[in-house]
Amino acid sequence: MSLISTTDDLAAFCDRLSREPFVAVDTEFMREKTYWPKLCLIQVAGESEAACVDPLAPGLSLEPLFALMDAPQVLKVFHAARQDLEIFLHESGRLPHPLFDSQVAAMVCGYGDSVGYETLVSSLTRARIDKSMRFTDWSRRPLTPRQVEYALGDVIHLRTVYQRLQEQLTVSGRAGWLDQEMAVLTDPAQYRVEPDEAWLRIKARSRSSRFLALLKELAAWRERTAQERDLPRNRVIRDEGLLEIAASAPTTPEALAQLRSISRGLADGPMGQGILEAVLRAQALPESGLPRPPQRDDLPQGLGPVVDLLRVLLKMKCEESGVAQKLVATIGDLERIAADDAADVPAMEGWRRALFGEDALRLKHGQLALALTADGQGLRVIPLEG
């Protein structure tokens, strides 16, 4: 049974997998024309069997699968899980747990930053991924046997990828290094877009509080409209359009229609009315209610070279330990460490602090130096006295 299309078959399949230690999971979805991802196929594999679940099958309930995703005794294995988890949260209102993300685990095991699935499969299983169906339309029915076989391949390989990575984590003693990342991935707040915060994703040159109030109201209107109509944000109106409206602050359909990004039909319709109401709400705000410009993390003068040295140390430490740099610290983290010994960044906590953070502070305060090795082919750390 490789394609499940009835609730009874799904319940029986999930009941069998609930007795296994882990399941590998993947999804196929479409999102080009919608705000919410349209779930088209779910692939699930235990140690002994694998199947595709057709969420578009008439009358099929996904509750047995959601119950399996909730089962605390079964580890759920994904690769680059964020988009898949967003789908599960939207469809069921909850996130799968406990969780193992093979992309994050691969970063801990030295396979580089954000390693791709094909690369990981090739490295760990010596198998080759079939790319022929990559751009197929998963929403069309009926699915062909070839489509089902292609989709199943992802979770079948993922089983082996997980087992090999788990072995490496156990040998290296790094299994616990994933805990913080998995806690972030299974936090529902990571996937919920609050309309009132949507403006923060838009790059605006102006730092005028009144302009930002307009942009905030307009972005919130667009976010709610996109969610209600299930349309991509840019199908409602593009960022450039929001910025143009915020700059001109039109209060009538006629003034709105004069803008380059707005058609007459839109200005006279319900969406135009929504835009004008957002403008009026922003204009009615008192000075005390205006948003503050996002804080710029400008480095204090003279810290640029310190950041450069920290980057070299980070690269050196990560190469020595076989951990992806991205998992330890970002450039922004290094800038904060350069400016503040007590910087609130992951690199100054837990295993990251032991791996890099402590030496970063020593380097910053002149207690360590970096020097080329005698053959000039590498770097070494030199403790300094005083």
The owner of tokens 């991205």 is 326
pLDDT of residue 285: 96
Q: Which two tokens stand for residue 317?
A: 């430490």
pLDDT, mean of residues 176-197: 92
Catalytic residue among 54, 84, 181, 223: 84
- Give, rounded to a whole angstrom, the gap between the first and last alpha carbons of the chain: 70
Token reading at 334:
């290094």
Enumerate domains of the chain plus CATH numbers: 3-190 (3.30.420.10), 195-289 (1.10.150.80), 303-383 (1.10.150)
Are the beta carbons of 118 and 79 closer than 8 angstroms?
no
Closest CA to 273 of 252, 289, 294, 245: 252
Q: Mean pLDDT across the stretch 113-134?
A: 87
Residues 343-386: pLDDT tens digits?
A: 999 999 999 999 999 999 999 999 999 998 888 778 888 999 75
What percent of the chain has pLDDT above 90? 86
**Does the annotation mark 341 as catalytic?**
no
pLDDT for residue 296:
64
User: Has 84 been annotated as catalytic?
Assistant: yes
Predicted confidence at residue 220, as pLDDT, reads: 98
pLDDT of residue 376: 77
pLDDT at 109 over 80: yes
Mean of all residue pLDDT scores within the chain: 94
Give yes or no: 162 in active site: no
Pairing of strands 368-372, 379-383: antiparallel
Given pLDDT bands bounded at 50, 70 and 90, which one contains residue 1? low
Q: Around Cβ 129, how many Cβ atoms within 10 Å?
A: 18
Catalytic residue among 101, 154, 181, 223: 154
For residue 72, what pLDDT is reported? 97
Whether 111 and 119 have beta carbons less than 8 Å apart is answered as yes
**pLDDT tens digits, 133-157:** 778 999 999 999 999 999 999 999 9
**Residue 132 to residue 158: CA distance in whole angstroms:** 18
Pairing of strands 3-4, 38-45: unpaired
Closest CA to 71 of 19, 125, 6: 19
Residues 11-64: tens digit of each pLDDT: 999 999 999 999 999 999 999 999 999 999 999 999 999 999 999 999 999 999
Q: Please report which helix (H) or strand (E) contains residue 40, including its range.
A: strand 38-45
| Closest to 69 (Cα-Cα) out of 28, 24, 38, 3 | 24
Single out the catalytic residue among 26, 54, 86, 181. Answer: 26
Task: Concatenate the DSSP letters of all residues of 298-363 into one string.
Answer: PPPTT-HHHHHHHHHHHHHHHHHHT--HHHH--HHHHHHHHH-TT--SGGGSHHHIIIIIHHHHHH
What strands, in cross-sheet order, belong to the sheet with 38-45?
Answer: 3-4, 50-53, 38-45, 22-30, 75-78, 99-101
| Alpha carbon separation from 191 to 40, 89, 178, 236, 237 (Å, rounded) | 20, 8, 19, 21, 22
pLDDT over threshold 80, residue 336: yes
Residue 27, CA distances (Å) to 3, 54, 193 in order: 14, 10, 21
Of 111, 150, 181, 223, catalytic: 150
Query: Among 164-168, 179-183, 251-255, 335-339, which is the least confidently predicted range?
Result: 179-183
Q: What is the mean predicted confidence (pLDDT) over 233-243?
A: 96
Q: Residue 275 pLDDT more than 60?
A: yes
